[in-house]
């Protein structure tokens, strides 16, 4: 696959076909992604590929906690506590565009709630990848992990597999750890929906804008 085209065409897929992703395909994707760089070759990634009854059990318990208004308790602070510009405007624009495509009105809180629960189902993808990191590792390893996640997403495209990396899937980490029997010295960073894209779903036409390089690049001689 052409690298430039892959980077330009990669997107977050939020509707999937009812089609299983075979274990062998997932193994091939991860086998490619494992070549990602990391400081002193630490390779901080720990991946759990979850599908079937186990996936259903996790999402059922998370949605139950959400409906009971149990506050999310991520293992780390993903978003800023105070939103400043330009990030505040970008966040707002992204949300409004998605609701527009889904025909969800600003005042329709019930539909918004149902859409948020779709996050916890990984948009009904057949497989979720949960990404963990050892508690002992520091910020540098989080940078390394970002490169690995990008590698997984781009590698998946080679097999016509769509992905959506989700912080929402890490909002209730204790539920995930308990079901997967993972000890507390591993932080849950995020999840990734993995499956075959439903190309007829309107939500998969949703594309966010990217800033021009003039807005974030500064050249000095």
Tell me how many helices (H) and strands (E) the chain has: 7, 4
- Does residue 74 belong to any structural domain of this protein? yes
- Could you give the CA distance from residue 172 to residue 77 in angstroms, rounded to a whole number? 13
Q: Are 45 and 186 in contact (CB under 8 A)?
A: no
How confident is the prediction along the chain (221 residues), in pLDDT tens digits per residue?
Answer: 799 999 999 999 999 999 999 999 999 999 999 999 999 999 999 999 999 999 999 999 999 999 999 999 999 999 999 999 999 999 999 988 888 888 888 788 888 888 999 999 999 999 999 999 999 999 999 999 999 999 999 999 999 999 999 999 999 999 999 999 999 999 999 999 999 999 999 999 888 999 999 999 999 99
In a domain, 163, yes or no: yes
3-state secondary structure of 203: helix
Count of CB atoms within 10 A of residue 39's CB?
13
CATH number at residue 43: 3.40.109.10
Cβ-contact 8, 155 below 8 angstroms: no
- Asked whether residue 80 is assigned to any structural domain, the reply reads yes
Does 149 fall in a domain? yes
Count of domains for the chain: 1
The domain in which residue 45 lies consists of: 3-188+195-207
In a domain, 94, yes or no: yes
Answer whether residue 217 is part of any domain.
no
**Residue 114 lies inside a defined structural domain of this protein:** yes
- Whether 70 is in a domain gets the answer yes
């Amino acid at each position: 696959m052409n690298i430039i085209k892959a980077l330009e065409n990669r997107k977050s897929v939020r509707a999937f076909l009812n089609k299983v992703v075979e274990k062998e395909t997932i193994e091939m994707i991860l086998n490619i992604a494992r070549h990602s760089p990391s400081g002193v070759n630490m390779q901080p990634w720990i991946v759990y590929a979850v599908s079937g009854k186990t996936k259903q059990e996790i999402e059922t318990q998370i949605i139950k906690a959400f409906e009971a208004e149990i506050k999310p308790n991520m293992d780390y602070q993903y978003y800023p506590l105070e939103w400043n510009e330009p990030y505040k405007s970008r966040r707002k624009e992204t949300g409004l565009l998605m609701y527009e495509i889904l025909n969800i009105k600003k005042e329709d809180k019930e539909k918004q709630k149902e859409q948020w629960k779709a996050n916890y189902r990984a948009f009904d993808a057949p497989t979720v990848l949960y990404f963990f990191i050892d508690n002992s590792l520091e910020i540098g390893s989080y940078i390394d992990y970002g490169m690995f996640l990008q590698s997984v997403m781009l590698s998946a495209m080679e097999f016509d597999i769509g992905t959506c990396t989700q912080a929402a899937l890490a909002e209730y980490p204790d539920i995930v750890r308990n079901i997967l029997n993972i000890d507390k010295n591993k932080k849950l960073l995020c999840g990734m929906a993995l499956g075959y894209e439903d190309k007829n779903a309107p939500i998969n036409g949703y594309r966010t804008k990217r800033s021009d390089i003039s807005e974030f690049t500064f050249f000095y001689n």
